[in-house]
Amino acid sequence: MGRRLVLLVVSVAVVAAACASDGEAGRESTGPSTGAAFPVTLTTSNGDITIDERPERIISLSPTATEMLFAIGADDQVIAVDDQSNFPPHAPTTELSGFEPNVEAIASYEPDLVVYSTEPGDLGSTLGGLGITTMLLPAATLLDDAYEQLEQLGRATGNAQAATAVVDDMRTEVDSIVSSVEMPQPPLTFYHELDDTYYSVTSQTFIGQLYALVGLDNIADAADDGGGGYPQLSAEYVIRADPDLIFLADTKCCGQSPATVAERPGWNSITAVRGRDVVPLDDDVASRWGPRIVEYLRTIADAVSDVEAEAA
């Protein structure tokens, strides 16, 4: 839990900086569109990179990138993933850490491409000095960023067509989920819980944006004057805001569940708690910007439909 929020916060800043400096960030600048053609040059968050031939020894230090690589069919090219990469289950998890990366340990795998999502200092340049190509894929702030990262990984690994297919599927699924939800008026309100000290997310964040897609109103938006996107709320505020839905993204980190929420002092007066509309999420799915966001969005949409069914 801890790591992911830190990563998100840090990465949001990185993305913002990258976008500000280069409106074309993330776009392919040269190279043909077919997957088999190398060399390929990509403009990434850590600058222009050129990949001369199809990478066969990829290391992922980012759980999201790992999910993306396996989704686009790069399975056989990935030789090692970091200790937090727990999906898909057959990913080659190692002791490598994306949080405190050990350059020597990474280099000992003799990778030809290292994908990572947070720059802890000078990982990219150090690995670059060893002749290893690196690709920084920071936390997405928009759905389109996530799609773009998938496409980029596709081009970088010679799986461009598969990546495009995955993205097209995701777009179709997202559209059909969004159109299947009847958005009630006035909108339902919700509280997304990141941990048991009531940290939450606003609609400015990648996660918050998914809720907005199905027409939900975020109670944390009013609590983020600083605009950081991750305000810490208080129990008082949540109780008074009286959300219709509560989403728990702290089931793994902090052992929270609909039962523990109902036991919190004063929380049984909240509509979501009384109506049993407290939805446990998988912490990992609810903090990554990989292909499983579709699954996450469906969970949200189902919860909205449940509330509407109860009301009807």
Partner 1 sequence: MRRASSVAIGASVLVASIVVGILVGPVHISPSDVLRWAVSFGGATSVSDQDAAILANLRLPRVVVAALVGASLSASGAAYQAVFRNPLADPYLLGAAAGAGLGATISVAFGPSDAFAVTVPLAAFTGAIGGVGLAYSLGRSALGGRSATSLVLGGIAVASFLTAVQTFIQQQRSETLRQVYSWILGRLGTAGWDDVRIALPSVLLAVATLWTVRRLLDVIEVGDLEAESLGLNVGRLRTIVVVAASLATAAAVSVAGLIGFVGIIVPHTVRLLSGTSYRHVLPLSVLFGASFVILVDVLARTVVAPAEIPIGVITAFVGAPFFLLALRRSAGRLT
206-235: which residues touch partner 1 (CB under 8 A)? 222-226, 231-235
Task: Please give the angle made by the CA atoms of 102, 73 and 14, to the nearest 5 degrees.
Answer: 45
**CB 99 → partner 1: shortest distance, Å?**
5
Decide if residue 237 touches partner 1 (CB under 8 A).
yes
Binding mask 83-102 for partner 1 (x = CB under 8 A): -x------------x-xx--
Decide if residue 285 touches partner 1 (CB under 8 A).
no
Among 195, 217, 244, 277, binds partner 1 (CB under 8 A): 195
33-92: which residues touch partner 1 (CB under 8 A)? 84
CB 82 within 8 A of CB 61: yes
The smaller minimum CB distance to partner 1, of residues 45 and 251, is found at 251
CB 231 within 8 A of CB 224: yes
- Residue 191: strand, helix, or coil: strand
**CB 273 → partner 1: shortest distance, Å?**
12
Decide if residue 276 touches partner 1 (CB under 8 A).
no
The smaller minimum CB distance to partner 1, of residues 112 and 250, is found at 250
> What is the spatial distance between Cα 267 and Cα 275, in angstroms, rounded to a whole number?
12
Give the range of 2-10, 16-24, 165-173, 175-183 binding partner 1 by CB under 8 A.
2-10
Q: In the beta sheet, which residues pair with residue 278?
A: 246
The smaller minimum CB distance to partner 1, of residues 253 and 281, is found at 253
134 sits in which H/E element: strand 133-136
DSSP code per residue over 277-296: -EEE--TTGGG--STTHHHH
Among 252, 275, 282, 308, binds partner 1 (CB under 8 A): 252
Q: Phi/psi at 51 (nearest 5 deg)?
A: -110, 115
Among 13, 266, 276, 310, binds partner 1 (CB under 8 A): 266
DSSP code per residue over 26-80: T-B-SS-SSTT---EEEEETTEEEEE-S--SSEEE--HHHHHHHHHTT-GGGEEE
The smaller minimum CB distance to partner 1, of residues 164 and 218, is found at 218
What residues make contact with partner 1 under the rule CB under 8 A? 1-3, 5-6, 84, 97, 99-100, 195-199, 222-226, 231-237, 239-242, 252-257, 260, 265-266, 269
